[in-house]
Chain A
Amino acid sequence: MDAAVSEQNRAVVADQWRTTVAAAKDEGYDYFDWLGAVDQIGRADDFEVLLRLVDLDAERAVLLRTAIPRDDPRLDSIADIFPGAGWHERESGELFAITFTGGDQRRLLLPEDYVGAPLRKDTVLAARAGIDWPGAKEPGGAPSRRRMVPPGVPEPEIWGDRDPSAPQPQPDEIAGSAVGGRVRRRRR
């Protein structure tokens, strides 16, 4: 497929996800390309679910996007409209802990005993918080004046070696502190 395909973006209300997808299929967008999710933590308390459908004959494509709340993420399954979407729903479902109502709830990639949702941005790479990061050293081996943390591991004051009497960190605070680089002073 070349770059001349005309792309369209459509925001969809979560309640109308199934009907909108079915309507798009009737419109001619009958080729399922992919379905995925994005954690919008820090910008909104939502997961964005995206679905790209292609109309191969008319060389046009549509990107349907909807937002579902992070604290109760559920969306109607579209696997009966596009059977190929089933695997994508299982993948996004387990990696973000999203429930696709009416879809296949079995695990696809993660082990059966895995706990957590690894693509949520507030998921901490706990195994890494415990081993030393090779990038923490400064060139020349001098003791570092700024403290550096690797991407994926939150600042110790927020998640690891924190003051036990302090209030529990918020998910967006953990995610915001796990971007790596210099340890910042706590914003409070």
Chain B
Amino acid sequence: MSHGTIKLIEENCTSCMICARECPSWCIRIDSHTEPVRDLPAGARERTVNVLDRFAIDWSLCMYCGICVEECPFDALQWAAAPVPGTASAAGLTHEIDDLR
């Protein structure tokens, strides 16, 4: 597997922030909120789950070190072969969830 880009497997992400904290170039931005878990059995205590709102990697900052891929405890980040496509502006190098799938 060549290291062209990093893919997000959204279903696995728990918004735990570990990748954003470990990233040496500060290129991962995450927004999330909590929602109560529905359909709990009667009498069970209330529980909440984190819901990912935004996951963005700024490829103009990323140095492709792969620390985020290594550190993710839920295997939500993965190397992919296709390189990041060129853009006309630096802002275009920030990829959101839809671009990272």
Q: Chain A: residues with CB nearer than 8 A to chain B?
A: 128, 131, 133-135, 137-142, 148, 150-151
B34 touches A135 (CB 8 A): no
- Give Cα distance in the complex from A187 to B101, angstroms: 46
Identify which of A131, A135, A142, A151 contacts B20 (C-beta below 8 A).
Answer: A135
With both beta carbons as reference points, the residue of chain A lying nearest to B58 in the complex is identified as A134
A140 touches B32 (CB 8 A): yes
30 contacts between A and B (CB under 8 A): A128-B26, A131-B26, A134-B23, A134-B26, A134-B28, A134-B29, A135-B17, A135-B20, A135-B21, A135-B23, A137-B17, A137-B20, A137-B31, A138-B17, A139-B14, A139-B15, A139-B17, A139-B50, A140-B32, A140-B34, A140-B48, A140-B50, A141-B32, A141-B33, A141-B34, A141-B53, A142-B34, A148-B21, A150-B21, A150-B26
Nearest CB on B from A183, distance (A): 14
In the complex, per-residue mask of B18-41: 1 if CB is within 8 Å of any chain A CB, else 0: 001111101011111110000000
The 10 A-B residue pairs with the shortest CB-CB distance, nearest first, are A135-B21, A140-B34, A134-B20, A135-B20, A140-B50, A139-B15, A134-B29, A141-B33, A139-B50, A139-B16
Q: Which residues of B contact A138 (CB under 8 A)?
A: 17
The CA-CA distance from A81 to B16 in the complex, in Å, is 54
CB neighbours (8 Å) of B31 from chain A are 137, 141
User: For residue A132, which residue of chain B has the nearest CB?
Assistant: B26
Residues of B within 8 A of A148 (CB): 21
10 additional A-B residue pairs with CB within 8 Å, beyond A135-B21, A140-B32, A142-B34: A134-B28, A137-B20, A139-B14, A139-B15, A139-B17, A140-B34, A141-B33, A141-B34, A148-B21, A150-B26
B interface with A by C-beta (< 8 Å): 14-17, 20-24, 26, 28-34, 48, 50, 53
Which residues on the B side are within 8 Å of A137 (C-beta)? Answer: 17, 20, 30-31
Residues in B neighbouring A131, C-beta threshold 8 A? 26
The CA of A138 and the CA of B30, in the complex, are separated in Å by 10
* A142 nearest in chain B by CB position: B34
- How many angstroms between the C-alpha atoms of A137 and B57 in the bound complex? 16
- Shortest distance from the beta carbon of B13 to any chain A beta carbon, whole Å: 10
Chain B positions within 8 Å of A141 at CB level? 31-34, 53
Shortest B24–chain A CB gap in Å is 8
Q: Give the shortest distance, in Å, between B25 (CB) and chain A (any CB).
A: 10
Residues of B within 8 A of A128 (CB): 26
CA A140 to CA B47, docked complex, whole Å: 13
Q: How far is it, in angstroms, between the C-alpha of A148 and the C-alpha of B21 when the chains are bound? A: 9
Cross-chain contact A140 with B21 (CB below 8 angstroms):
no
